[in-house]
Each structure stands twice: as structure tokens, then as C-alpha cells.
Structure 1
């Protein structure tokens, strides 16, 4: 559990807590993350995978062949995982939003975030609503969310799940905030590590 002061015994820094929002594109992760920063009682940082992609020089990325581009994207996501872990290990509380559309991303997060209290939240939204949202966005090709649906939640284990079509962003944030008041028991990440034999 997070030490709010960030400092443990003998001056050691206690790791922060990570609220890990996982869902397909346009499911509402970033909106929930922004609301959590307002609703939570202590300072959190929002770190999203899209933020890291936006740091990359697009002009050079566009010149790469598909194989090289795939490797750049993989390194970007691996770096994102390590940046979140680094911030948390420095005592910061993080709201992380991600799209676990490839199995290696979850496996990497399980390894990199070991020793950190991770609250794993599944962010859901039905296909029809995802299509409607994509039609109103200029930054996503149509069908992106539909292509991700089968893979993103394939592991099927969460601490908490929310549905942004059935509940408002404020209600989703409140549900997550309420969950944080519970005594931490066997977290989803612990169960997933045990399942993977880690």
C-alpha cells in the first residue's frame, strides 16, 4: 500500500500506487484518468501510452518500413512501462492508461511493475458505442477499437471493471476511488503472475 509521505524506514522511498486503466481505443480511459486527478485525495500523475507516442518524431517514423516501425513502437511501449515504474518507485502515485492489445505488453508490465501496488481496472464499452465515438474522433482510423476488442481483455482478470456506456465518467471515477479505500488483498496482478508462473 502507498506510503503517502513517500518515505519509508531509514530514508527509503516507498513506492507509489499505480491505477492501471486498460481498455480499447475510445473506451474512455483518458477521460477517467483526467477525472481521477480531480477526484482523488492525494496527488496523482496521469501517464498514458498515447502521450509517449506523441513524443516521437512523426516525420522520421513515417519513413520506416513496417518491420522497423513495429520495433520502434515496441520500444516505445516498453519505455512507457519502465517510465511508469520509475515514477512509482520514486514515490509517485500514477494513473496509467494503456491498451494491452499484444500479450507481451501485459507480461512486460507484470515484470516491470513487480513490488508496486497496482490496481488493475478494466475499462469496457460496447462495440456500437465505440463505433459512434470513433466517428467523432479525427485521431483514430475507424475500426481501431473493434480490432482490439478480442485481445485487450483476453486475460480476463481485474481488480475492478467499469463500463463507460453504462456509467458516466464521474461514476466510473467514484467507483475506482471507493475501491482504493478497501484493504488490499490478492491483487489482479498477483493472480496474473501466479497464473503465468512468475
Structure 2
């Protein structure tokens, strides 16, 4: 068994995909796993919600449970990156506190913030087609999800498919500019 001291220290890169539900983040993440040379982990809030117990909880506890789930998700991502793992984050910054929490936890030099955009009419069509999301979820999220307005790179999934978006992001990584979007956002908060 290898000793921990034989693993060279490094910081992991976080590719942070932010967009509404049904915008195509998970599809882009799956393609990124395929096209990136380094090993990456795809981590999504949906994954964390899926591993929570399935029993019904009182409505007055739901907000607290969801809030703690998101906080745990952020800390799990931060822990993976701090251990030197590269992470693709599939996220919805539909509440300002989520961005604030991530800005406090992640090394801003190691985050590539990707805006995943899609026109509302197309989001609504995708929601109807999926059938597994509450109607109007993307519309409710779209009011806040891009409100911070700063990205390292953006893609529009109504104009480019997941493969094209993943290739665009992959090609952006080697020459990504500084300061990063996370550095600029942290400096303004």
C-alpha cells in the first residue's frame, strides 16, 4: 500500500457549470469526462439529493434539510479539490447564499466558472420533454442563476450541443486568464 507521503501535493481544478435546470449542465459534464485528459469527478447537487433518505419530511423542515444538503455538497466539492482532485461541478446558483458559500470555500484561482445558458422557451420545452422536473422550475431559477453576471467562459446550449460545449471548455482551459471570475467575484464581496 502506498503511503500518503508519496502522493505529491497539488490543488484540483474545479470546472463550475452554472445554469438553470434543463440547461444541459449534466450532458456537458458527461462529455467533459470523455474529452478531458486528466481524471475528473462529476459532482452534482442532484447526486446529493438522490442519496438522502426517501421518507417524507414535514414541510416546515424542508428548507433546512435542502439548505444543509447544499452546504454539504459545497464542502464535499471543496474537500475533493483540496485533496488534489479535479472536479466538474453541476450547479444552480439560484440563491445568492450558494455563490457566497462557494466563494468562501473554493480556492478562486482554481475555479473555471462556466455560464450554461439557454433561452427560456427552450428550457420550458426541455422540462416538458423530461417530465421529471416541476413545471416552471427553470423559469423560477432563471431570475437569479446568472445575476452575478461574471463568467470565465459561457456556452448557449440552444446553439451548441454538449459535445461542442465540452470541447469549447476543454480548449479554454490551457490559457485561462487571470484574475478568474471567482477571484473577481470574491474581490467585490
TM-score band by shorter chain is over 0.9
Q: How far is 1:23 from its partner? A: 0.3
Partner of 1:69: 62
Is there any run of 5+ residues in structure 2 with no aligned partner, and where?
none
SS at match of 1:158: coil
Q: How far is 1:114 from its partner? A: 2.8
Partner of 1:4: none
Equivalent residues in 2 for 1:3-152, closer than 5 Å: 13-59=9-55, 62-66=56-60, 68-114=61-107, 117-152=110-145
The Cα offsets for residues 30-62 of structure 1, whole Å up to 9 and x where unpaired, read as: 000000000001110100110001111121xx2
State the alpha-carbon separation in 1 of the partners of residues 143 and 89 from structure 2.
21
State the alpha-carbon separation in 2 of the partners of residues 98 and 113 from structure 1.
14
Partner of 1:185: 178
1:156 aligns with 2:152: no
Runs (4+) of structure 1 exceeding 6 A deviation are none
State the alpha-carbon separation in 2 of the partners of residues 126 and 14 from structure 1.
38
The Cα offsets for residues 86-131 of structure 1, whole Å up to 9 and x where unpaired, read as: 0111110000010000000000000011365000000000011101
TM-score for both structures, normalised by structure 2? 0.94
State the alpha-carbon separation in 1 of the partners of residues 158 and 128 from structure 2.
16
Name the CA shift for 1:133/1:101 in 2 (closer, same or farther; >3 Å). Answer: same
Is there any run of 5+ residues in structure 1 with no aligned partner, and where?
1-6
**Two-structure CA RMSD over aligned residues (Å):** 1.7
TM-score for both structures, normalised by structure 1? 0.90
Name the CA shift for 1:84/1:152 in 2 (closer, same or farther; >3 Å). Answer: same
SS at match of 2:11: coil
SS at match of 1:134: helix
SS at match of 1:151: coil
Does the 8 A contact of 1:15 with 1:116 survive in 2? no
